[in-house]
């Protein structure tokens, strides 16, 4: 059997508020590829299959998502799609570092739905029950125009 290696490895970093259509766009980018990694996956109860958000687990679950993305990169899987809100640049930093280490090209994607920035519509559309106030806070904190350089020099609030 002949193994064909692609000439470029790609990491797609999705960005978008809850309910904006980022998971739909992630599926379009991935096509037949099942390699969509979302921190939300770790909030799905393995017994019931239901999404159960626990804010106390957010940091740990983000770390788990970074780890499995790194493992996929180590294995040379491409394309890889990370489907998280990625509101602030520092939230993408570990993924960008991994991409650089493993030789992946990084592409940023945002949904282009007409309601992508309408907090009230997003509160009605999102499937995880994220309340309007939380969506508005994310909208207010949104970092515009990501670049590799901007992400790598970004700092989390606890690093300042």
pLDDT in tens, 79-133: 999 999 999 999 999 999 999 999 999 999 999 999 999 999 999 999 888 999 9
Per-chain mean pLDDT for the chain: 93
CB contact set of 48 (below 8 Å; sequence gap of 6+): none
Listed residue (90, 104, 79, 95) closest to 26, CA to CA:
79
Q: Which strand (E) or helix (H) includes residue 108?
A: strand 104-109
Phi and psi angles of residue 10, each rounded to the nearest 5 degrees, phi first? -125, 135
Which pLDDT band holds residue 3 (cuts at 50, 70, 90)? Answer: very low
Domain-wise residue ranges, the chain: 9-154
Classify domain 9-154 at the CATH superfamily level: P-loop containing nucleotide triphosphate hydrolases (3.40.50.300)
pTM of the predicted model over 0.85: yes
Is residue 39 within 8 Å of residue 95, measured between CB atoms? no
With a cut of 80, say whether residue 2 has pLDDT above it. Answer: no
């Amino acid at each position: 059997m002949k193994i064909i290696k692609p000439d470029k490895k790609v990491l797609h970093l999705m960005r978008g508020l809850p309910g904006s259509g980022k998971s739909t766009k992630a599926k379009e980018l991935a096509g037949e590829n099942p390699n969509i990694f979302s921190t939300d996956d770790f909030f799905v109860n393995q017994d019931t299959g239901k999404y159960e958000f626990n804010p106390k687990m957010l940091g740990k679950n983000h770390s788990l998502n970074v780890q499995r993305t790194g493992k996929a990169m180590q294995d040379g899987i491409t394309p890889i799609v990370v489907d998280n809100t990625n509101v602030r640049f520092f939230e993408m930093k570990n993924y960008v570092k991994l991409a650089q280490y493993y030789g992946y090209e990084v592409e940023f994607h945002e949904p282009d739905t007409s309601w992508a920035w309408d907090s009230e519509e997003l509160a009605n559309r999102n499937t995880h029950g994220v309340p309007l106030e939380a969506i508005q806070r994310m909208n207010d904190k949104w970092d515009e125009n990501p670049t590799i350089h901007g992400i790598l020099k970004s700092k989390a609030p606890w690093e300042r």
